[in-house]
């Protein structure tokens, strides 16, 4: 089967398959602070690491709706140039979901979801205290992606990692054991997965 993007219905598919094809996607649970001090947190699955040295991450924020400003996370990062990527364990899935609601900018989603904050070392934004790991980031660049059919554009946010907070309970023999917290991943549609098993494979000599 071949389909053109956005012409999935003509091919007999009920939903656009793009996000199901590019899956599983890790979830960046992004915490930010506005310049007047309001805290914000929301999940983003157009998220990934983009470089090991220097360690860098990206996520993409689609516009809220036609003609409106960007999402709160983007606006806060444009103001303060700081953000934190929190990793979502399976046990944090419900709290993560609560924070995906489109609350007004001044609403603190940490409070709405009952998330305890932890102090960061290199940024003024807090992290999720009970996340298995979180990455403190300074904004490097934003990039406006090509226009959507309605004329609005998604923005890619790229940051340099300046600090890493790790729950010592997830470290076994000097390594992070992801199966101890089962990181959540986004699939297509309303589906998620969690990492329960791993296997190792060496590159050929």
Is residue 62 within the footprint of ligand FMN (CB under 6 A)? yes
The DSSP bridge pattern shows strands 184-186 and 192-194 to be antiparallel
Residue from 31, 73, 134, 165 binding ligand FMN (CB under 6 A)? 73
- Name which of 32 and 165 has its Cβ closer to ligand FMN: 32
| Interface size with ligand FMN, residues (CB under 6 A) | 18
- Tell me how far apart the alpha carbons of residues 203 and 93 are, in angstroms, rounded to a whole number: 34
Cβ at position 167, least distance to ligand FMN in Å: 21
Torsion angles phi and psi, residue 109, rounded to 5: -70, -20
- Name which of 29 and 161 has its Cβ closer to ligand FMN: 29
Angle at 204 between CA 198 and CA 205, to 5 degrees: 135
- Name which of 11 and 145 has its Cβ closer to ligand FMN: 145
- Name which of 96 and 178 has its Cβ closer to ligand FMN: 96
User: Which tokens hold the place of 72?
Assistant: 């709160």
Angle at 89 between CA 84 and CA 92, to 5 degrees: 85
Is residue 61 within the footprint of ligand FMN (CB under 6 A)? yes
Stretch that binds ligand FMN, among 4-12, 13-21, 39-47, 131-139 (CB under 6 A): 39-47
Is residue 186 within the footprint of ligand FMN (CB under 6 A)? yes
DSSP 10: G
- Name which of 23 and 97 has its Cβ closer to ligand FMN: 97
Task: Answer for the pair 158, 50: CB distance below 8 angstroms, yes or no.
Answer: yes
User: Which tokens hold the place of 51?
Assistant: 């470089």
Residue from 33, 44, 87, 133 binding ligand FMN (CB under 6 A)? 44
Residues from 98 through 127 that contact ligand FMN (CB under 6 A): 100-102
Is residue 27 within the footprint of ligand FMN (CB under 6 A)? yes
Taking the CB of residue 149, how many other CB atoms lie within 10 A of it?
6
Cβ at position 116, least distance to ligand FMN in Å: 19
Contact residues for 75 (Cβ-Cβ < 8 A; gap 6+): 34, 69, 105
- Tell me how far apart the alpha carbons of residues 118 and 150 are, in angstroms, rounded to a whole number: 40
Residue from 31, 60, 86, 165 binding ligand FMN (CB under 6 A)? 60
């Amino acid at each position: 089967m071949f389909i053109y993007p956005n012409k999935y219905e003509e091919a007999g598919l009920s939903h656009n398959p793009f996000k199901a094809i590019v899956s599983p996607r890790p979830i960046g649970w992004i915490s930010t602070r506005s310049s007047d001090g309001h805290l914000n947190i929301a999940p983003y699955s157009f998220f990934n690491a983009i470089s090991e040295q220097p360690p860098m991450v990206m996520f993409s924020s689609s516009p809220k709706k036609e003609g409106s400003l960007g999402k709160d996370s983007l606006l806060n990062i444009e103001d303060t140039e700081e953000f934190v990527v929190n990793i979502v364990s399976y046990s944090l899935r419900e709290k993560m979901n609560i924070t995906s609601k489109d609350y007004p900018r001044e609403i603190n989603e940490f409070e709405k979801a009952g998330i305890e904050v932890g102090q960061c070392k290199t940024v003024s934004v807090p992290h999720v205290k009970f996340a298995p790991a979180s990455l403190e980031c300074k904004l490097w660049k934003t990039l406006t992606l090509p226009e959507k059919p309605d004329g609005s554009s998604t923005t890619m946010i790229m940051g340099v990692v300046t600090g890493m907070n790790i729950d010592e309970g997830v470290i076994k023999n000097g390594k992070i054991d992801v199966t101890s917290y089962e990181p959540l991943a986004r699939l297509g549609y309303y589906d998620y997965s969690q990492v329960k098993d791993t296997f190792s494979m060496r590159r050929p000599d």
